[in-house]
Amino acid sequence: MSNFESVSTVLKTYDQQHIIQFWDKLDDNEREQLLEDIQNVNIPEVVDMFKKTIKDINADKQKLDDKMKSIPSELYGSVSRSPTELLNSYKEIGLQNISKGKVGVLLMAGGQGTRLGVSYPKGMYDIGLPSHKSLYRIQGERIRRLINLAQQKYGSCKGLPWFIMTSEHTMEPTREYFAKYNHFGLNEKDIIFFEQYMLPAFTFDGKIIMESTHKISKSPDGNGGIYKALRDRNILNEIKKRDVMYLHAHSVDNILVKVADPTFIGYCISKSADCGAKVVKKAYPSEPLGVICEVDGKFQVVEYSEITESTSEKQNSDGSLTYSAGNICNHFFTTNFLNDVINKYSNKLKLHVAKKKILCVDSEGNDCKPEKPNGIKIEKFIFDVFEFSNRLAVWEVNRDEEFSALKNGDTPGGKDNPSTSRLDVFKLHRKFIEKAGGKFIRDNIECEISPLLSYEGEDLERFVKGKMYDTVLELKSDEEISLNNCNKN
């Protein structure tokens, strides 16, 4: 039986024959592309996934209010509620494990900068800081600074490997970008790229949507696709081979993210957590942030839309919101927990649906740009593994120090955009300078501190103490100053 005949048989079995309806009109190259597309999609698996998703959507959804409980206090720590001595002990635990090479970073960088108005990966975006460093560069330099801090305190650092999950569209541009900038001074062998999988889009009645006559419409399978990719791309094996025991996972689009935060890692280790989540306190009850809580004895993220207004407004005796642990896609995992998720629970992960306007072709092969949603995209979320955790630790951080999302292009009065991200950096770095003894004549002075010079405001006194600033301030490391001088000469 020819390859085409075997593929045709599979498509007929799963009622997807329309995928090859234009076969006779395709040239040899287009036919080859289509066959490859079909084989990469795994028709039986994705059709079964669609059926499962629709079944879950149509099932009666009971309101979660009566089932919800807040996170137990012994597993809900906070930067603002912890004494300095305790914070320092957590930090020491984390930094010591970094020095021993026991910590790795999982970066989710599959997104393109479409909403920002650019066609390249979001991680390459420059929000307009004085240094014009991209998200990738800032995060890479934070890793370098941590390695230096571990070396200073413990005499050596065995490495802090960076595992970067891209998508089909961001892999090559990301690789090229890292190479162009010499991997930001990091050891190239400690940067491991891997690609998340793609899932096809479906019509509402279960037909796989065709982007063109010879191409299936596909999109990344969500940040929860990281588990399948870790398994099938052999990344988990690489993590084990390197003897990494703890991983910090985060998305690329938070300009303030503390990459491999030793305090967070140390807190989770001290709590014997197999899984951890950083959260910020919800600004107000209806803020559209999912909250972490217990439901029927299991941890999960509950979306604001899933609970009633009265539950979202529920308060504790001190007036604080009962359900205030806002999820910011910033997590801790032990390697053992990831191993269990991948080998025992990956098929039990929830599937989420988004109704979208999906470019397609009609029955004549003509391009169509729908005016209303014509299909669904299926994705998985990274936090859906919380329910499999035996001990989830939650760590509340200050929003103005650790969370500033970059989602949208600049618009007047908009949020989560380059302007708001840039202002959040300036505000935080001014705070670092003032704590170290420097002063500003005005509140709105632009201020940027290189991650190579300071990870979270440490070691700045010798540069700024007693100084007054009245213009743009960019503090650089000796390495950067030397490089700039070389370039000028």
User: What pLDDT was estimated at residue 2?
Assistant: 64
Name the token pair of 329.
């896609």
Which of 407, 430, 457 terminates a domain? The answer is 407
The answer to whether residues 334 and 272 touch, using CB atoms and an 8 Å cutoff, is: no
User: What pLDDT was estimated at residue 303?
Assistant: 84
- pLDDT > 90 in the chain, percent: 80
Name the token pair of 452.
């190579």
Kindly state whether residues 178 and 201 are assigned to the same domain. yes
Kindly state whether residues 292 and 436 are assigned to the same domain. no
| pLDDT tens-place string over residues 83-94 | 999 999 999 999
pLDDT over threshold 50, residue 227: yes
Which of 357, 379, 407 terminates a domain? The answer is 407
Q: Which DSSP category does 43 fall into?
A: H
pLDDT over threshold 60, residue 1: no
pLDDT over threshold 90, residue 204: yes
Kindly state whether residues 225 and 82 are assigned to the same domain. yes
The answer to whether residues 199 and 47 touch, using CB atoms and an 8 Å cutoff, is: no
Measured in whole angstroms, the distance separating CA 162 from the mean position of its chain's CA atoms is 13
Residue-averaged pLDDT of the chain: 93
Place 64 in a pLDDT band, splitting at 50, 70 and 90.
Answer: confident
Q: Which helix (H) or strand (E) holds 439?
A: strand 439-440
User: What pLDDT was estimated at residue 59?
Assistant: 58
User: What pLDDT was estimated at residue 288?
Assistant: 85
| pLDDT tens-place string over residues 399-440 | 999 999 999 999 888 999 999 999 999 999 999 999 999 999
Q: What is the mean pLDDT of residues 75-81?
A: 95
- The residue that leads in pLDDT, 308 or 142, is 142
Residues 6+ apart with CB under 8 A from 348: 388
Which of 386, 407, 428 terminates a domain? The answer is 407
Say which CATH number the domain at 72 has.
3.90.550.10
3-state secondary structure of 402: helix
pLDDT over threshold 80, residue 43: yes
Kindly state whether residues 46 and 95 are assigned to the same domain. no
| pLDDT tens-place string over residues 10-42 | 999 999 999 999 999 999 999 999 999 998 899
| pLDDT tens-place string over residues 448-487 | 999 999 999 999 999 999 999 999 999 999 999 887 766 6
Owning domain of residue 24: 3-58
Kindly state whether residues 265 and 195 are assigned to the same domain. yes
Kindly state whether residues 284 and 172 are assigned to the same domain. yes
Q: What is the mean pLDDT of residues 55-70?
A: 73
Place 60 in a pLDDT band, splitting at 50, 70 and 90.
Answer: very low
| pLDDT tens-place string over residues 264-312 | 999 999 999 999 999 999 989 988 889 999 998 899 998 887 888 888 9
Q: Specify the number of domains making up the chain.
A: 3
- Cα separation, 327 vs 425, whole angstroms: 21
Kindly state whether residues 269 and 222 are assigned to the same domain. yes
3-state secondary structure of 23: helix
Kindly state whether residues 307 and 322 are assigned to the same domain. yes
The string over 120-158, giving b where at least 16 C-beta atoms fall within 10 Å of a residue's C-beta and e elsewhere, is bbbbbbebebbbebbbbbbbbbbbbbbbebbeeeeeebe
Kindly state whether residues 109 and 8 are assigned to the same domain. no
Kindly state whether residues 366 and 280 are assigned to the same domain. yes
Place 61 in a pLDDT band, splitting at 50, 70 and 90.
Answer: low
pLDDT over threshold 70, residue 488: no
Kindly state whether residues 418 and 401 are assigned to the same domain. no
Kindly state whether residues 44 and 83 are assigned to the same domain. no
Q: What is the mean pLDDT of residues 352-356?
A: 87
